[in-house]
Structure 1
Amino acid sequence: MSIPASNSTSASEQAYLTVKELIVTGELPGGELVSEGDIAGRMDVSRTPVREAFLRLQVEGWMRLYPKRGALVVPIAPGEAEHIVSARWIVETASVRTVVRDERARTELLADLRSNLEHQRSLVETGTAAEFSAADADFHRLIVRAGGNPLLDEFYTGLRERQRRMTAHSLIRDPGQISRIVDDHAELSDLIEAGDVDGFADAVERHMNRVHGLTEGGRK
């Protein structure tokens, strides 16, 4: 993994994006101590852009820096999964409630969801956990975006990377659930097509709880 280092700004941005992706996909697991030298060697860049990336990631809460020791990848905090699931449930259900009242928006959303589902199915056998977690996040983001509320859309965007990290963590724990997730997504699409908001609310809650290893009622 090498990047062009024509200037410190582009190298710093690439280091930031690279390290964040490694954290989100679980390649750098929570609790691991990482050195600037390790990442610089992996990316074939100097330590300066990596240091800048680590500082930025610390501000965002992804890393915790320890002078002369390295950077600790911050684990998923206790209760974080429950809180994210709760927030997602509220936003997705509200979006579906809006979408089903607009036939055009519902038709366009269903076309986008089915295209995404085809992509997910193509990843079942040959895709990586990182690729599937991205497709999974995109599926749910399509639902929120179709609701047409820019404030909810922006809020949901802020959850995307933490959602991806949780999903990647779950897939590492149980790779066999990818097919079940695709089946759940197909069910959610069918419920949107039927205009069944209450059914969607129940199904998406079960889906998120199951994927992230939460008990029923995990949504607070």
Structure 2
Amino acid sequence: MSKLYSVSELAYREVKELILSGELPGGELISEGEIATRMGSSRTPVREAFLRLEAEGWMRLYPKRGALIVPIAEGEAEHIVDARLLVEVHAVEAVTANPRGRDVLVATLRENLAEQRRLVESGGDPVRYSILDADFHRALVHAGGNPLLETFYDGLRERQRRMTANSLARDPEQITKIVEDHIRLADLVEAGDAAGFAAAVRLHMREVHALGEGGRR
């Protein structure tokens, strides 16, 4: 597939990234003109991008007023965390029974953690960090060896990134705590402690996304 995207595709990608990174927060109203000016394009490709983002549920369009960035719905964070927990814990249970697969996974996690540490030491760009965070957790699922669950999990990735960006915007200092949690999770995988991992990752997700006991805000 060609790397030369249409202007509409570029507008779609740029605006979606602004939403996922939290630069365009939920509840904000933007116009086609703002994005067209930012991109140096006409409004037509931006309008096409907005229609596509509306169809995906990221925007709500209001004629002559603009586009509202749809906030994270009430209960959405809890539902995403519940789904992630089911898939990640299942994957780790599967991989801890396979020493060779476990070794490969631990090496991948350690490599990702090295990048996380470098990012924190350089100042901690939240957008880049949300990607590394998503990659860390996806590596767990990939190691589980179930392509159907992996595909399902990939469908949560964008919403996961947006949630993490929101959490870091709320408390940028927690990046250090998240890295510490990830180190603990990697250690538990290496030790083959699936039960310990399940408890630790549940607490990790609840704290990062400010969910109370039982998974409720």
- Range into which the TM-score falls when normalised by the shorter chain: over 0.9
- Give distance in 2, aligned partners of 1:93 and 1:216: 19
User: 1:217 Cα shift?
Assistant: 2.0
Q: Is the 8 A contact 1:206 1:216 kept in 2?
A: no
Partner of 1:95: 91
In the alignment, structure 1 residue 33 sits paired with structure 2 residue 29: yes
User: 1:46 Cα shift?
Assistant: 1.2
User: 1:128 Cα shift?
Assistant: 1.3
In the alignment, structure 1 residue 170 sits paired with structure 2 residue 167: yes
CA shift digits 1:90-114 (9 cap, x unpaired) = 0000000110111111111000000
- Give distance in 2, aligned partners of 1:165 and 1:115: 23
Partner of 2:117: 121
- Give distance in 2, aligned partners of 1:18 and 1:193: 38
Amino acid at match of 1:169: N
- Give distance in 2, aligned partners of 1:90 and 1:152: 10
Amino acid at match of 1:19: V
1:1-220 equivalences under 5 Å are: 10-125=6-121, 126-218=123-215
- Give distance in 2, aligned partners of 1:14 and 1:157: 22
- Give distance in 1, aligned partners of 2:199 and 2:173: 23
Q: Secondary structure at the match of 2:213?
A: coil
Q: So what's the TM-score if we normalise by structure 1?
A: 0.94
User: Percent identity among equivalent residues?
Assistant: 67
Partner of 1:3: none
Q: Secondary structure at the match of 1:65?
A: strand
- Give distance in 1, aligned partners of 2:14 and 2:125: 17
CA shift digits 1:51-70 (9 cap, x unpaired) = 11100100100000001111
Calculate the aligned-residue CA RMSD, in Å.
1.1
* Moved beyond 4 Å, runs of 4+: none
- List runs of 5+ in structure 1 lacking aligned partners: 1-5
- List runs of 5+ in structure 2 lacking aligned partners: none
Amino acid at match of 1:207: H
User: 1:77 Cα shift?
Assistant: 0.4
User: 1:124 Cα shift?
Assistant: 1.1
The number of equivalent residue pairs is 212
Q: So what's the TM-score if we normalise by structure 2?
A: 0.95
- Give distance in 1, aligned partners of 2:194 and 2:213: 19
- Give distance in 1, aligned partners of 2:44 and 2:185: 46
Q: Secondary structure at the match of 2:15?
A: helix
User: 1:127 Cα shift?
Assistant: 3.1
